[in-house]
Structure 1
Amino acid sequence: MSRGGWRSKEKSRRQMQHVRETRGRIIVLDDDPDLREEIGQFLSAHGHPVIGLEDGSTIAATDFAPSDILVLDMVLLGMDGTDVLFGLTTTAHPPRIVLITGHGEPVLRAAAAAAERAGLTVLAGLQKPFDLFALEALLRSAREVAPCSIYVPPAASDIRNALDAALDEDTLPVEYQPIVRSKDLSFCGAEALLAGWLPGLGQVSPIDIINAIEGDRALIARLTENVAQQAAVACRTWTRAGWSGTVSINAPIEALTQPKIVTSLLSVVEAAGIEPHQLILELTENGLYDSSFAALQSLLKLRIAGFRLALDDVGQRQSGLLQLANLPVTEIKIDMELIRAARTWSKGRGIYESLAHLGRRLDLAIVAEGIENLDDMALVRANQVDYVQGYLISKKRPLPELIAMLPEMETNLGYATLERSAG
């Protein structure tokens, strides 16, 4: 096997310069010349433009394109993969990453977690030796997905002003992601979500909206009540159209501990013509850490009034599960990051299965978020998860679009495919 063009440091620098001048390349960074050559030749034979590198010191100065993908060995001569990952955080457009190592799954998982927390995108982690056909399929799938455009969040003050205006004028955009039963994909409700834009401001990530109003209890309460009002009307709309189902909203603990919150939410559901049990208030795990008398009293009052309480994002902080014994919740929602971990990591699958088992033992309804493919569905069905939501079913949609798609939801091609896969 020829090693020419894959070894020298100077050659690597020239090749990295070539990366700057091209787009959509697969960059293989590994100091094992044999493996680097093998990967490069295999991927090139399958139509991928490939550049092989042995030295990662030039990574930080590289002008990557959004479509570039880096296959990164975590152990390199003179440096390790964490140094390369750190260098990538300083680049304008870091590539998407496939991690490889011979040091086992725990190293891969920790490296992936560190990279993602630094804002990098990790497509997968592969243990050596790995199947080149599997790598090629992964890269082909990743290259078929158009990279996201760069999003620069507006200033927090601009977000607050736009949100204030939208609430004053009752123009806050809310969309709905359907939730279905895992066993047959029949509609059982939807989650009301911020649409991702604000009038007069344009695209704004829901996370940036939440961050911009952090600590402003009055604005958080206004936002929650407005979303509850729209959600209740949406629930009435699909109920009158013949579709039985609940509606869920994200409910920060700061909103639920406001004075007269029970009276306010009862007025919301009464005005919309639905029952309290049709509105599910989703508590984030962050809310668990407020175990004050006021917080627990509010949650108990809401539960007694008939509202259902769901614990959202379960799995982000495992220590929060200890609070399950103290909260009057009726269901748990397994965080979507766990399903992503379960696709690749055995530990992730183990945690996912344990949470589903815990939910059943506590007689709680279990909702799985982030279901994107047939393997995800097979996992939740194998673990007797009750309800699912995610892109496999539908993205979030404006209410008219959701109502229009409901008649075909249970009979579309996706549902038939799922039934065949389960048979």
Structure 2
Amino acid sequence: MRVTRRTTAAGATAVAFVMTLAACGGTSAGEAGPSLRTHTDVGVYTWWAAGVEKTGLDALAEVFEKQHPDIEFVNDGVTGGGGSAAKDHLQSRLENQDPPDTFLVHAGAELEDYIKDGYVLDVSDLYEKYGLTEAFPKDLIERLSTDDGKIYSVPSNIHRANVMWANPTVLEDNGIDPSARYESIDAFITDLEKLDQAGVTPLSVGTTWTQVHLLETVLLGTLGPQAYNGLWNGSTDWTSAEVTAALENFKTLMSFTNSNREDIDWPDATKMVIDGEAAFNIMGDWAVSAFDEAEMTLGQGYVAVPSPGTAGSFDFLADSFTMTAGILDPESTEAWLQTISSKEGQVAFNKIKGSIPARTDVDRDEFTEYQRMAIKSFEEDTIVSSLAHGAAVPVAQLNAISEATRAFAGPSGHQDVARFQSDLAATAG
């Protein structure tokens, strides 16, 4: 398999080439330059540098090589750090006219700034060309589309954010039914108190972004899907009593979490449940890979249910890829988008990553029990957009919400719900 990484020198050459065009009155950063066919590769920018994410990317590269043997896949992303650091690095490259051919982004509002700044191109025509308007569900097409009906990315998968993972042995040892689903957060808090009194860490969580992830599921579980969606479309007042109740619930849940939360990320928080050091963890369904690697089976080694109060809702996000503006070879990027949207590409990738295909025409029997559950939920439940993963709000607003959450719940956090609510309301503009 020909998988290479574009070197710094190559990047510098690309910058010099773009600068030469600009000096000669060429295209601006917000416009697509001509396809000069000066290379037959595609530079793909992701933060998938380790674990199941890297394995999934490698699987996509293998499918790409089979489908497009004359185009070389180039891993043009970052080798370390998470999505937040990668997005900062990507922004620097875009601003300095050194764009990757295509980059990973979360479908939805996260794309708004890239569209406004002219860094990505409309790929709506590819949806018609490759039959994606029929292969993808209507709800997904609506979430991918802007107000003027254009689409600027192609999803490789769909993830569910509102999943609660539990260790059934820990629950049974403390007199808690591991098969129970929590219809309300109040009922969940009752069992957290029981675990806390027994000296067990009730709920594991990690650094700030995982706390924002927890916050969104608490907002959804307290408000319900309609009022939760209203936070992002303006129909729910951030200063209302129902939001106050949700933030009080968040404060209570955070009081039952591990003391080392600021020092760990989601894999370690999930591992606490796997190892029996914590009873519950609320995280997206990429966490299923950790249980699979530990050779634990659903229903016996671990439990996966909707987070408290969110049964009947599917908290949506999707890993998606763009056609970057100003690149040398749009045809190679189109080939990559064709592969990740193809049935073969989606099956190969999602079988590894634990997410579900965006396509509806795949054989469900190829997927795990959890994935079949998620496919059914996406078909039947109310779809809402994830806050922490870019589907609900633009990057700037998510950053402001993250800062407010850190000030409230982080080291030396003020723990003042009224102040937290005011800070969150201010992020909505």
Under a length normalisation based on structure 2, what TM-score does the superposition of the two structures give? 0.31
Under a length normalisation based on structure 1, what TM-score does the superposition of the two structures give? 0.31
